[in-house]
A and B are shown apart, each in its own frame.
Chain A
Amino acid sequence: MKYVATLDNVSHVVEVTGGDGRYRLTIGDDVWDVDARLTAQGIYSLLIGGLSYVADVVDREGTCMVDVGGEAYEVLVEEQTRWIIRTKGGAAGAAHGQTLTAPLPGKITHVAVRPGDRVQTGDTLVVIEAMKMENELKAAAAGTVAEVRVAPGQAVNPGDVMVVLRAAAEGE
């Protein structure tokens, strides 16, 4: 199972396998074998490489509040697909410059722009229906719409290019 755990505005992809108290977690390049037990409601005992930790974990409005070793952390944990939806492909958009690609499989329900339109950061470009949710995909930067490659009703797969933007000129 793949999750994205966000702590202090930094997102980490975490893969988990195992169960019944014994788990293997992959965070980036690190692999952690963890023996974890729930000893009392919300109080977890973790043995990691022989080190013993006691962590309090509470869900507060969707965020995990973790107290461990006298420190308090707020961690947002999401399934990776959910995270991609929520961030509206923001990471993908950034990686591909001004190209908006589909972050997940789904059906286009609405196309909000036409070639030549000028858009601002955060303007909705396309809406994809996936996992029973309408997901608005927004412009990661200001610019002009160069191409629209999708139409309502069309099915898309992850990575499909949907909209191409031309960056706003300096000082514009």
Chain B
Amino acid sequence: MKLKKLLVANRGEIAVRVIRACREQGIATVAVFSEADREALHVLMADEAYPIGPPPATESYLKIDTLVDVARRAGADAVHPGYGFLAENARFAEACVAAGLTFVGPPPTAIRAMGDKTSARKIAREMKVPMVPGTLEALRSDDEARTTAAKIGYPVMLKAAMGGGGKGMRLVRAEKELANALRAARAEAGAAFGDTAVYLERAVVEPRHVEIQVLGDAHGAMVHLGERECSIQRRHQKLIEESPSPCVDTELRARMGEAACRVAKAAGYVNAGTVEFLVDADRNFYFLEMNTRLQVEHPVTEMVTGIDLVREQLRIAAGEPLGYTQRDVTWKGWAIECRVNAEDPFGGWLPSPGTITGLRAAGGPGVREDSGAYEGYTVPRFYDTLLAKLIVWGADRATAVERMLRALGEYKVVGVRTTIPALERIVGHPDFRAGRLSTALLERILPGLHAHEGRHANVALIAAVLAEYERARQSTATARDGSNQMDAGPSAWSRSTRPGGREA
């Protein structure tokens, strides 16, 4: 079976990523867009594009019936869910299958098995994969929480059974904090996932977050593509990822990879998936959960393995065998990814929607940019803030770090605030350079992060004053000459209306 036309049930950079993979394989593409996304890059790039409703995702990108209907009417034979939105929604996968569409992802049964974190933990235990000590069932009462926590020892972590993205998570350092934390975690879990079930685990202090990429075909083959280090997080949101991990050697990679494959196989997993682990200071690893989708940070794995994950997803969905075994998977060099989000890192990390008036992407050797933005594009306020991912490859980690710093320096986005200046500071930090990574690293670095160190204060003053000076000259010239400015040659500043500026 060959896929002929695929609907991308997503937006932003990941929709663009999927469209690119399809185009390279001669698969026609169908984009969908909300009313806020008519001018989004994925709409511009797809072969066909159809509106699916108002801006809020609940009325557009999360509408299962609408998406399936558009796919059918466009004559698509497959659907790729991207990540987020409906990517880990078993009902969406079922609806696609019921409509005769190939769902590019795991079977609905595997999504369900892994979607419930307590059921995933049971599978992991049956497969004898190490786990952080904790409960396998949702906590039935505060009393049960108290006795269990006392047994496994504080600090403990409360987690939402249906959770993800840091919602419904609470660190509890001592028993006196437990009752309040339970209440808060249940409330948060209920609001975010419509399910108040929570369980608890022993908290690993300053852990590393390391995940294993797996690929399985419909014929029983399963391989892993090594790890991604995702410890650089802010409030459980990943900001920088890399592969390999500075804390994983060949032997640990083999053990973690084998454990990940065992869990995935037990869940009947097919297609690309990710098994997340915590790694403690003594390099013990513990199963955390499995993500039944393509990850945001998949490019770092592609860069070091040379395997195009989206292409593999499409091949696997079409029923093709992997065609290679674990022995054929090799790793070369080092890759790092930075997430360029429309957020103001010096203004409380608040979202910064608006029009991108100026954009110059980074380029040159070893640099890859997966973006959903372009100059003139208006970042809508309805969706997540990820604009683009900047990925670099280097022969070793030190080379990759220097290359990332170089690329971040080249990357210019004007009109919206982005995480770029903060990323530069983090990547250049001695702890990051030395590979001393943990999920607590950013909490230590960020409070000391200032908008500037005053190294370029004079240049900033000069640039600001010249912008104002030229703006004033332009408006004076316009006022004097009116619209009959016949002899006005092309000035160096001819386009210098101030971006985002107010009417004078």
Chain A contacts to B: CB under 8 angstroms:
1, 3, 5, 7, 12, 14, 16, 19-21, 23, 25, 27, 30, 32, 34, 36-38, 40-44, 46, 48, 53-60, 62, 64-75, 77, 79
Say whether, besides A38-B495, A41-B358, A42-B415, A64 and B451 are in contact (CB < 8 Å).
no
A57, B150: Cα distance in complex, Å:
56
Contacts of B496 in A (CB 8 A): 38
- CB atoms of A55 and B463 under 8 A apart: yes
B424 within 8 A of A: yes
- CB atoms of A70 and B460 under 8 A apart: no
- CB atoms of A42 and B457 under 8 A apart: no
- CB atoms of B425 and A3 under 8 A apart: no
Interface-facing stretch out of B21-29, B66-74, B466-474? B466-474
Contacts of B453 in A (CB 8 A): 71
- CB atoms of B412 and A5 under 8 A apart: no
A38, B452: Cα distance in complex, Å:
23
- Looking at the assembled complex, report how far the CB atom of A153 sits from the nearest CB atom of chain B, in whole angstroms: 32
Chain B contacts to A: CB under 8 angstroms:
346, 357-360, 375, 408-409, 412-415, 417, 421, 424-425, 451-470, 472-473, 491-493, 495-496, 498-502
A16, B472: Cα distance in complex, Å:
12
A41, B457: Cα distance in complex, Å:
22
- CB atoms of A7 and B457 under 8 A apart: yes
Q: What secondary structure prevails in chain B residues at the interface with A?
A: mixed
- CB atoms of A71 and B451 under 8 A apart: yes
> Among B467, B469, B500, which residue has its beta carbon within 8 angstroms of that of A44?
B467
Say whether, besides A21-B492, A43-B358, A62-B502, A57 and B464 are in contact (CB < 8 Å).
yes
> Among B455, B456, B458, B495, which residue has its beta carbon within 8 angstroms of that of A41?
B495
- CB atoms of B465 and A77 under 8 A apart: yes
Contacts of B462 in A (CB 8 A): 14, 25, 27, 32, 34, 36, 46, 48
> Among A3, A21, A73, A79, which residue has its beta carbon within 8 angstroms of that of B452?
A73
Say whether, besides A23-B469, A77-B468, A46 and B414 are in contact (CB < 8 Å).
no
A80, B87: Cα distance in complex, Å:
57
- CB atoms of A70 and B499 under 8 A apart: no
- CB atoms of B375 and A16 under 8 A apart: no
A19, B346: Cα distance in complex, Å:
34
Contacts of A44 in B (CB 8 A): 463, 466-467
- CB atoms of A72 and B421 under 8 A apart: yes
Contacts of B502 in A (CB 8 A): 59, 62
- CB atoms of B459 and A41 under 8 A apart: no
- CB atoms of A55 and B459 under 8 A apart: yes
- CB atoms of A40 and B466 under 8 A apart: no
Contacts of A27 in B (CB 8 A): 458, 461-462
Contacts of A77 in B (CB 8 A): 464-465, 467-468
- CB atoms of A34 and B466 under 8 A apart: yes
Contacts of A41 in B (CB 8 A): 357-358, 375, 414-415, 495, 499
Say whether, besides A37-B492, A41-B499, A58-B357, A48 and B459 are in contact (CB < 8 Å).
yes
* Smallest CB-CB A-B distances: 3 pairs: A71-B452, A42-B414, A21-B492
Contacts of B467 in A (CB 8 A): 44, 57, 59, 64, 77
> Among B357, B409, B425, B470, which residue has its beta carbon within 8 angstroms of that of A42?
B357
> Among A3, A46, A69, which residue has its beta carbon within 8 angstroms of that of B455?
A69
- Looking at the assembled complex, report how far the CB atom of B233 sits from the nearest CB atom of chain A, in whole angstroms: 22
A67, B467: Cα distance in complex, Å:
13
A66, B452: Cα distance in complex, Å:
10
- CB atoms of A20 and B492 under 8 A apart: yes
- CB atoms of A67 and B473 under 8 A apart: no
Contacts of A1 in B (CB 8 A): 469, 472
Contacts of A66 in B (CB 8 A): 460, 463-464
- Looking at the assembled complex, report how far the CB atom of B320 sits from the nearest CB atom of chain A, in whole angstroms: 44
- CB atoms of B412 and A56 under 8 A apart: yes
10 contacts between A and B (CB under 8 A): A5-B464, A32-B462, A38-B470, A38-B495, A41-B499, A42-B499, A53-B459, A57-B463, A58-B415, A74-B451
- Looking at the assembled complex, report how far the CB atom of A171 sits from the nearest CB atom of chain B, in whole angstroms: 39
> Most A CB atoms within 10 A — which of B358, B472, B502?
B358
Q: Which residue of B lies closest to A32 (CB)?
A: B462
> Among B360, B457, B470, which residue has its beta carbon within 8 angstroms of that of A73?
B457
Q: Which residue of A lies closest to B423 (CB)?
A: A70
Given contacts A41-B415, A68-B460, 20 further A-B contacts (CB under 8 A): A14-B465, A20-B491, A20-B492, A30-B458, A34-B462, A36-B466, A37-B493, A38-B492, A41-B358, A48-B459, A48-B462, A53-B459, A56-B358, A56-B413, A57-B414, A62-B502, A64-B463, A66-B464, A75-B461, A77-B465
